[in-house]
Amino acid sequence: MDNTFFKGKLILAPMAGISNSAFREICRDFGADMSVGEMVSAKALWYGDKKSTQLLHTTEAEQPVIPQIFGSDPEIMASSAKKVLELTGAPAIDINMGCPVHKVISGGDGSALMKNPDLIFDIVKAVTGAVDVPVTVKIRAGFEKINAVECALSAESAGAAAITVHGRTRTQMYAPPVNLDIIAQVKEAVGIPVIGNGDVKDGKSAKEMLEKTGCDSIMVGRAALGNPFVFEEIKAYLSGQPYEKPSLSLIMDTARRHVHALVSLKGERIGILEARGQLAWYIRDIRGGAALRAQATKVSTLNEADEFINSIHNK
């Protein structure tokens, strides 16, 4: 696979506990060109953790899916990358160097790696040397200081095939507006595809990301929560085609599909617990949404979920 694989794509971002195969398949049907899977601990894979292995589950309908691993030990990262390929046959592997949550960075993983560009080089070099598919890297603008260009160059020199840049530092988390300038600087500095990430929520913001950064592709995350239709909207806007917003009927049919897929994937107890949050996202813009969201948190069985969805459908 050459680097053109990563160009011109509209990509579903990896979101822990959210972007599982149930959600990825729905987003694929509504216009996502590809997805990056939930991040998986390389160390957990190294020790044979079953739950971590289950996170690698994919279906044919959602392909292509790129699994994402995180960790800070080059040897463990390389070994786990090989294991991921054996289990999935994936077209590429992504390395998370951008996760901002405390649980991840406290172990020196995720965005904490951006404090050590030399370690970034060592990790990417080890992984690219262990697998025969492209290796991509997801970073932020920096950890506390902005150093995305330095980190991107380090990853590229070690053999990375593409770089995703979220235009905020770790300390900024998700609060201030995304820094498009730093994404543009990374694009200018490297010779591999750059995927822009952060604050893309509709066609207008997607066009702004492309025009102001020159990035090759766009990654969409939180905007797709309860709104997998955003991919169709973005594609219509960028191509100058008219776009009709989804009807209430389509929204609720998609919510039902999502809930049933989660139950099929994880069993009724866990599936419904996760479905509560998904239902809340699907109904957030519906009149009376606050009261409905409160009801969604009390759904405890698949039948109750269906009844809840039917009650909205029939309004």
Catalytic residue at 99? yes
Whether the CB-CB separation of 155 and 138 falls below 8 Å is answered with no
Q: Is the dihedral of CA 208, 211, 213, 219 positive or negative?
A: positive
Alpha carbon 157 to chain centroid, angstroms? 24
Instruction: Provide the token pair at 245.
Output: 């917003």
Q: Is the dihedral of CA 109, 2, 32, 301 positive or negative?
A: negative
Catalytic residue among 27, 99, 151, 215: 99
Strand ranges, E, within 120-277: 135-142, 162-169, 194-197, 217-220
Give the span between the Cα atoms of 8 and 156, in whole angstroms: 20
Q: Give the burial string for 13-43 (b: 16+ CB within 10 Å, else e).
A: bbbbebbbbbbbbbbbebbbbbbbbbbbbbb
Give the span between the Cα atoms of 288 and 256, in whole angstroms: 19
Alpha-carbon radius of gyration of the chain = 19
What amino acid occupies position 64?
Answer: P
Give the span between the Cα atoms of 229 and 227, in whole angstroms: 5
**3 state SS of 218:** strand
Q: What is the DSSP secondary structure assignment for residue 245, as one 8-state letter?
A: P
**Inter-CA distances, 238 with 209, 217, 243, Å:** 11, 12, 11
Q: Which is nearest to 156 in space by CA: 196, 192, 201?
A: 192
What amino acid occupies position 310?
Answer: N
Active site residues: 99
